[in-house]
Structure 1
Amino acid sequence: MQFHHHVPQPSPQRMVPVAGSPLVVGVVPGQSELVTATAAAWAEALGGIPLHFAYVDATRIVDEEYADGTVRHSPLDPDLADDSWTAVESELREHLAALLTDHGSAWDFRYLAGRPDRALTHLARAVGASAFVVGARRPSSTERVREFLAGSVALHLTRHQHRPVIVVPVAVVDWKAPAPW
């Protein structure tokens, strides 16, 4: 017996209105300031819409998802009491505050857990976001292999939900350089 599960596809009827709808911005420690600056520029251009920044810690699991897009999370190993995530959260929050001092739109930061594409999608649904802003990873040989095998967060977002994804380039490769493979 086969069950056919219908997956809702992107369509004009599923679009979230851009005017007045916030953006969800994926951030990671050490990320280029260009991602935050790009998100802020888009928010300003769209009339000062809110920005919801989020870091997704893939080393933690989601215990419970809340309607506002936040989560209760715990370490993968239940025997390991690990509160080091609070330092990462604080560092990211302070970094964003410093970058956004002259930005006029409202913004917040969420520390999420689990699979990045799923966590960002949950947040986008919760806040009614019209799109995502994420940074492309810096091209290194190990990153190229990992992304080839597993795919990037941006790629997963484009394949598993219906909102547009704005990918900010943070490093480019010389077109004339020989291919690394």
Structure 2
Amino acid sequence: MDVPQPAVERLVPFAGHPAVVGVVPGQPELVVRTALAWAQASATALHLAYVDTQRYVVEEHADGSVRHAALDPDTSDDGWQRVERELREQVAAVVGTTSVPWTLHYLAGRPDRALTHLARAVDAAVIVVGTRAPGAASRFRELVEGSVAVHLAHHQHRPVLTVPLGVVDWSQTRSPW
């Protein structure tokens, strides 16, 4: 079976189609503010999503939501509700009283797959994600897990808007290019 490839006929118009936005607890507000500016410019909604990698998908629904469960059956199963509540407050503080409608989705599993599923379900025009915070731990994690933005760019057809959250001085890099 051939994998559908990006093509002009698969382009989702920006106007009237929402953006899917990857969010994480404590993330700088720049990611949500960038998505908010995009939504205001294209007169559309935001579907913000946190993907809990410590949970797995039990059932996917047509609206992009999922029923999920903890990977470790011995852990308390209510901690995710606190995280969801905190994220909702974090997003509400940034979106404020703007006229942009938004929804927060609590997803599970691999971030690239979960965001792709949600984007497909809501017919999103774009997926917005932030880069990882700078630091050795983040670089190691990205080396092991890979970049969500790169995985999204290589495994689905929607444009991926990557918001830089930290930059490295060119003179400090060791790469030859």
Range into which the TM-score falls when normalised by the shorter chain: over 0.9
Q: What is residue 41 of structure 1 aligned with on the other side?
A: 37
Q: What is residue 8 of structure 1 aligned with on the other side?
A: 4
Q: What is residue 129 of structure 1 aligned with on the other side?
A: 124
> How many aligned residue pairs are there?
175
**4+ runs of 1 displaced by more than 6 Å?**
none
Deviation at 1:129, TM superposition (A): 0.3
User: TM-score, normalization: structure 2?
Assistant: 0.94
Distance 1:27 1:67 in 2: 21
Gaps of 5+ in 2: none
Distance 1:148 1:18 in 2: 33
- Does 1:84 pair with 2:91? no
**Aligned-pair Cα RMSD in Å:** 1.4
User: TM-score, normalization: structure 1?
Assistant: 0.92
Deviation at 1:178, TM superposition (A): 5.3
Amino acid at match of 1:70: S
Distance 2:128 2:44 in 1: 13
Bigger shift: residues 102-111 or 34-43: 102-111
What is the aligned counterpart of 1:18 among 14, 17, 22? 14
Distance 1:105 1:117 in 2: 25
The SS at the match of 1:176 is helix
Distance 2:120 2:5 in 1: 15
Deviation at 1:102, TM superposition (A): 3.1
Distance 1:155 1:170 in 2: 16
What is the aligned counterpart of 1:172 among 136, 142, 167? 167
The SS at the match of 1:104 is coil
Amino acid at match of 2:169: D
